[in-house]
Amino acid sequence: MRTLRKIVKVILIVVVALVVIVAAAGVVLVRRTFPQVKGDIHVAGLDNQVEIYRDEWGIPTIYAHTAHDLFFAQGYVHAQDRLWQMEFNRRIGSGTLSAALGEATLDTDRFLRVIGLRRAAEKVGFAIVPGPAEDELVLLHRPGEAALALSLA
């Protein structure tokens, strides 16, 4: 009887230890995806120093010396806060959810491709931007997003 109690006790200790280890690993992995909102971050692609302040609700305010740096930083901050959402919405519009979520979304992908959201967005997107100067500013957002994505890889 004592041997059985010792075995049960050892098994219980091992199970509790495994639960604690898995929980700690989960916390570390989840927190790793949170954006760094304090301290200095050095990012290639900026011409000058950019300052980003977040208020008590986490809303960023960006101070930059040039439009290039402003839009680059805006892309970086946007990706910090919404990278998963941006990727998910891109996949919805392109009809490529199945590449990330598997066969369960194949019918949805087919439907979205028939509708042609991506084709429509590409046509309208190019029509909305008035000229080359604005094109450049809009496109500066993307390198900021890419810089964050590369820092997470």
Q: What is the model's pLDDT at position 21? A: 92
Q: What is the model's pLDDT at position 43? A: 82
| Residue range 50-96, pLDDT digits in tens | 999 988 888 999 999 998 889 888 888 888 888 888 889 889 988 99
> Band of the pLDDT at 132, cuts 50, 70, 90?
low
Contact 54, 47 (CB under 8 A): no
Q: How far apart are CA 99 and CA 108, in angstroms?
A: 12
> Band of the pLDDT at 143, cuts 50, 70, 90?
confident
The string of DSSP codes covering 23-76 is: HHHHHHHHHHTSPP-SS----TT-SS--EEEE-TT--EEEE-SSHHHHHHHHHH
- Its CATH class, for the domain covering 37-152, is mainly alpha
Contact 62, 48 (CB under 8 A): no
When mean pLDDT is compared over 33-37, 77-81, 106-110, the highest value belongs to 106-110
Q: What is the model's pLDDT at position 103? A: 92
Taking the whole predicted model, whether its pTM rises above 0.75 is answered as no
Distances (CA, A) of 105 to 58, 82, 101, 102, 121: 33, 22, 7, 6, 21
> Band of the pLDDT at 35, cuts 50, 70, 90?
confident
Q: What is the mean pLDDT of the chain?
A: 84
Q: How far apart are CA 39 and CA 51, in angstroms?
A: 10
Q: What is the model's pLDDT at position 68? A: 87
Q: How far apart are CA 69 and CA 137, in angstroms?
A: 10
Domain limits, the chain: 1-32, 37-152
Q: What is the model's pLDDT at position 114? A: 92
Decide the pairing of beta strands 51-54 and 60-63.
Answer: antiparallel
